[in-house]
Structure formats: C-alpha cells, structure tokens
Structure 1
Amino acid sequence: MYSFSQLRKGLAHPVLVGRELNRLYFRRRGDAGYNTKGIDVFEEDWDNLIVLDACRYDLFRDRNTLGGGLESRISRGSSTRDFLRGNFADRMFPDTVYVTANPVPYHYREEIRAEFHDVIHVWKEEGWDEELGTVRPETTTEYARRAAEEYPNKRLIVHYIQPHYPFLDASLEFDKGHLADPDVEDPDPNFWRRRLLGDLDVSTETLWTAYAENLDAVLPHVTDLLSDLTGKTVVTSDHGNVFGERAFPFPIREWGHPSGVYIPDLVTVPWLICDGDGERKEITAGDTTTDLSEVDDGTVAERLNSLGYVE
C-alpha cells in the first residue's frame, strides 16, 4: 500500500511512477527485499573484503590503481539497504569484524539483525567530518588498520563511503545535503532525486567527473590499507550508480542508486582479487555481539541526511 503523500508525489512526478513500476517488475517473483540473482559475498573466498560504496564496475575498471586481478560480480543490491538484506540479514558471523563508515547498517540494525564478532562504526562522532558531511577515506583506513591489528584471526569487512557522495571536493555544494539552502522549504538532501525530478540543473559530465574524482580520492587510502593486511583481499562494491541511463521495462532515465531497480549498471560491481604475499589468515570463530550501542536519533538522522539517505 502507498501513503497519500507517496501517491501525491507520483501524480506530480510521473517519473516516480515509472520507477515504482520497475521495482515491481524486478520483485514480481516475490519480494525478497534484494536482488536474488546476485552473489552471497560470504560464500566467496576472501580474508578481507573492502567495500567501496556505490562504485560501478566500468568506472573502477578504467581508474583502478590497486593492481590485482579484476573480475565482476552481480550484487544483491542496487542500494546499501538491499545489499545488507541480501547478505547480512538474520545471520551470525562469529569469525568476522565489520568496520563501516556508512551509518545505514546501524540505522537498519533491527531489521537486518546480523551478529558479527565486532562492529566498528567509524561514522560516529570521532570519525565524522562535519565540514564535508561524510567520513574521509583516510579515517576509514585508520580504523580498519586498528581492527586488523586487534583481530588478526578474523575476516575483515571494511566499508568505505567513497565514491558515494558527498564529493570530497569542498568547492561543490549541490551534493552537500547538510548545506541545504535554509530558505528552501523541506529541502531534499538527495541530489540524485532532485536531478531525476528536474529540480537540479547539473550536467551529466559534471556529475560523472565528481564521482570519478571521489573514487580517485579513496584508492590511495585503500592502497595504504592493503599494505597492512594479511591474507587474500577482495575489493568490491555494494552497488553501482547510474547517470541518466534508461531503466527497464519502463524506460525512464534513472539517476543515483534507487533500491529495488536491478538494472546492469546498478548491480554489476567490481571484484578485484588481491592475493598479497600468498599468506592466508588462520580464521577462527569467536563470540558474536548484537549491536546495542545507542546514538542520538538526531545525530543518526543528520548523518543519513548528509549522505542522501531519505525515505
């Protein structure tokens, strides 16, 4: 069922109706809440999994500076929430530590109900850059390095924000949700949605360049982390991103990474295999912990808002 507000938005913006019809198409065989044709990342072979948020395969292929053997995989998500549902939901990972710069896993923790040996939330107060409204990649690397030292016998997942916006180029403003014009009533912090609805006049070239530069900015910090990790490392993404490509079966031009729209540019992700020196970790299981940490609701909402996560 759809709320009155959603129906009103659909009438005002037919493109949103097209998006919803496409979602219904992809989930027509039962709403699993994720792309059932994607891989289960925990069934793959790795000691360390580095997730670059919203990194599409072709961009990574063209700009990768990490070396390794590049393949592709089909993700279970076209959004972080889909990815979490498809890989983490209702599962226990006593041999895995999750370091995340993204607040989405925390926000949906009661829905996902995953248990890890430990979860380290980099985006909390000490890891958050107020000026940019994100977590800088060097900060994520530092937290991941500490986790690798503390838990040498655990699988490690490191979830960077970049190349997901906000873009690290501080001269840009259209992507900074926390800098929304105070004179605009109910400003939408998600600039991809504003672009979809025609409320933002920014060229595809400008958007692509900023996105690519955000990937360029994170890769050196991933390189630094790789030099400190033991074992087989895979660099991948939770989902891709689109820049006006046609969706299907209703051929609207899509922007960003809407949940439930499993078109190729949104679910085809890099799978870069870095074997390091060939030494593998001796993985051992331990206790699991349920994330019971409490963060002020206003702080969580502010962080999500800055990253464009709005319902």
Structure 2
Amino acid sequence: MDARSRLSRALGTPRLFLRHANRLYHRRCGLRSHDTAGDDPFDADWDTLVLLDGCRYDTFARRADLPGTLERRRSPAASTVEFLRAAVDGRDLRDTVYVTANPQLRQHDDVEANFHTVVDVWREDGWDDETGTVLPETMTAYAREAARDYPEKRLVVHYMQPHYPFVEADTTFDKGHLDGSVGGENVWNRLLAGDVDVAPDEVRRFYAENLDRALPHVAALLDALDGRTVVTADHGNMLGERSFPIPFREWGHPRGIYTDELVAVPWLVVEGDERRTITRGEQTADGEREGERADDAVVRERLRDLGYAE
C-alpha cells in the first residue's frame, strides 16, 4: 500500500490516527523497532518451536489441553514481520528449518533470514483456496515430513491459526477480501471503523474457535516429534480491548503497539523421550532469499487473502 492510499484510508478511519499516536508512544517515537522488553524465543532450549500466529496467552490458557508446562512469556513483537525483524533478522540459523504457513518472510527483503532451509507451505500445493489460508492439518503433515527429512536440525513450525480467516465459522465478514467485495480491507480495520455488523463477543468466539481448529493437529505433531518442543506465538491479538495510552477500542495486531493482549504469549514446554542431535549445515538454496522477489505475485495474493493490508 503506497503513502497516498495509507493517507486516504486514515482520513476515512480517524482511529488509525489514534493507533499511530499510540505506536509513537510504544516505540518511543521511533527509537526502537520492536518490544525490547520481550523474550528472545530463539535463545531458548528447544528442538522444535511451534508458532501459532496471533495467539494470545489468555485464550490459549483457557482453550488448550496439551501436555507440558505452560507459562506466560512476552513476545518482542506485535506483528509477524516485527517478530521476524526482532528474532530472525541477521541471526545464524543454519541449524534450523523454517516450515511456514505465513508468507511474510518472502515479502520483506529487509529481513536477513539465514535458515538452513525454508519450507513455504503457503505456495501452491499447501494453500486451501476455499478458506484462503493454510489449514492446520496441512501444516502438521509438512512439519512431520520436515522432521524426517532434516533429523539433525531444529524446526520452527509456523501455523496460521488462530489468525483469521475463521476456518470453521459460517461467516462472510472475514472472507469478503477473497473475492474483493470489501476492497481488500482486513477484518480488524473494518471492525475498527465500525463497518462490520457483528457483535464483539461473536468475533471473540470465532477467534477462540479458530484456535480450537488448530489444536488437535498441534497435538498430533507433538506426538510425532522427538526432543523438546515449545508451543508459543509470534504475537497476540486485540479483540476490542482499550489500547494505551489513548484508550480507544483496538482490533487486530497492529505493529509497534505493546499492550498485554498483543505481547503476552503462551510458552508451553513439552519434553520428548529423546533429544535430537542438532548440527549446523550450509544454507540451502531454499533457505536463501536470492531469487525470492518482494513483488512475487503469489506472495501478494496470499497476503491479500490473509488480510494483510498494511
């Protein structure tokens, strides 16, 4: 989205100006690019890191019935790209394979990702056209295959849920961007503007049920993996709570705003029977950014389907 489009959108939605003011506060007027008080997930001891996109700690604690020890951690980010910049950019991750349903890494050339390899599940064969996302069962299948193919590498498995679209919900307000009927604007900004005729409690229910949709497939992955697995999130999500310091009702996961709802994430440690022996290999062609263009048509289409307007 270019500067003129952003300005036009902000003029039509005054709360976007309030959001920007809150962002200036949280980012110290641009002095920090992410939440420097957040924990570094890649500095922890694990063999597999499962990321649930946009998963709040409180929702996970209420809904998840997975084995392991759960605690609350603080993400360094309020959005996926901010997470990648804070936790991945410039890091030597040649001992790690990134299996992802989220196209953000391929969109942002400023993130130097040095994984051993990247498995982009969202490309043609992993994408579900009907729902406009990567289904969690697809992610689990790809992650199990990666564990077999790379037995001496750490895995990062990035599920798309509970990020919308709400897979099981018989709804249209979260899927109108798929056919262009809402002009590509995402659900959260439409809720912010008051353009969605859905009760806030219903939206919260759909969000929680979208997490429910993923959890059995996460459980199946835990059963299939050796070693220590951590289930966490890249960031949280606001569901109509009041932001800070300007206390308007906020929706979604706007980057640069570090309320509890946006940075409090689960940290579930699941101990396996046997730790994997991890080795650092050379970066494969799939792990490099070379040849992956920021204007890749597939990347743009997937991001549109997932409602990334910013």
Provide the TM-score with structure 1 as the length reference: 0.93
> How many pairs were matched up?
305
Secondary structure at the counterpart of residue 288 of structure 1: coil
Question: Are 1:234 and 2:230 matched, yes or no?
Answer: yes
Residue 266 of structure 2 corresponds to 270
1:213 CA drift (Å): 0.9
Q: Alpha carbons of 1:124 and 1:29: their partners in 2 closer, same or farther (altered >3 Å)?
A: same
After the TM superposition, which residues 36-51 of structure 1 pair with which residues of structure 2 at under 5 Å, given as runs? 36-51=36-51
Residue 113 of structure 2 corresponds to 114
Distance 1:158 1:242 in 2: 23
1:181 CA drift (Å): 5.4
Distance 1:161 1:90 in 2: 24
Distance 1:64 1:188 in 2: 32
Question: Are 1:280 and 2:275 matched, yes or no?
Answer: yes
Q: Which moved more, 1:130-139 or 1:171-180?
A: 171-180
The answer to whether the 8 A contact 2:173-2:187 is kept is yes
In structure 1, what residue type is equivalent to 2:126?
Answer: G
Residue 291 of structure 1 corresponds to 289
Residue 87 of structure 1 corresponds to 87
1:53 CA drift (Å): 0.4
Secondary structure at the counterpart of residue 70 of structure 2: strand
Residue 148 of structure 2 corresponds to 149
Distance 1:29 1:171 in 2: 42
The answer to whether the 8 A contact 2:24-2:30 is kept is no
1:14 CA drift (Å): 2.2
1:180 CA drift (Å): 4.0
Q: Which moved more, 1:200-209 or 1:227-236?
A: 200-209
Residue 250 of structure 1 corresponds to 246
The answer to whether the 8 A contact 1:154-1:284 is kept is yes
Residue 16 of structure 1 corresponds to 16
Distance 1:4 1:116 in 2: 36
Q: Which moved more, 1:150-159 or 1:31-40?
A: 31-40
The answer to whether the 8 A contact 1:167-1:175 is kept is yes
Q: Alpha carbons of 1:300 and 1:7: their partners in 2 closer, same or farther (altered >3 Å)?
A: closer
Residue 134 of structure 1 corresponds to 133
Secondary structure at the counterpart of residue 227 of structure 1: helix
Distance 1:51 1:253 in 2: 26
Distance 1:82 1:164 in 2: 16
The answer to whether the 8 A contact 1:177-1:308 is kept is no
Percent identity between matched residues is: 54
Residue 300 of structure 1 corresponds to 299
Secondary structure at the counterpart of residue 18 of structure 1: helix
Distance 1:105 1:274 in 2: 27
The unaligned stretches of length 5 or more in structure 2 are: none
The unaligned stretches of length 5 or more in structure 1 are: none
1:29 CA drift (Å): 6.2
The answer to whether the 8 A contact 2:169-2:206 is kept is no
Distance 1:188 1:91 in 2: 34
Secondary structure at the counterpart of residue 62 of structure 2: helix
Give CA-to-partner distance per residue, 1:75-117, whole Å, 9 cap, x none: 0111101111110112221110100011111111x11011111
Provide the TM-score with structure 2 as the length reference: 0.94
Secondary structure at the counterpart of residue 190 of structure 2: helix
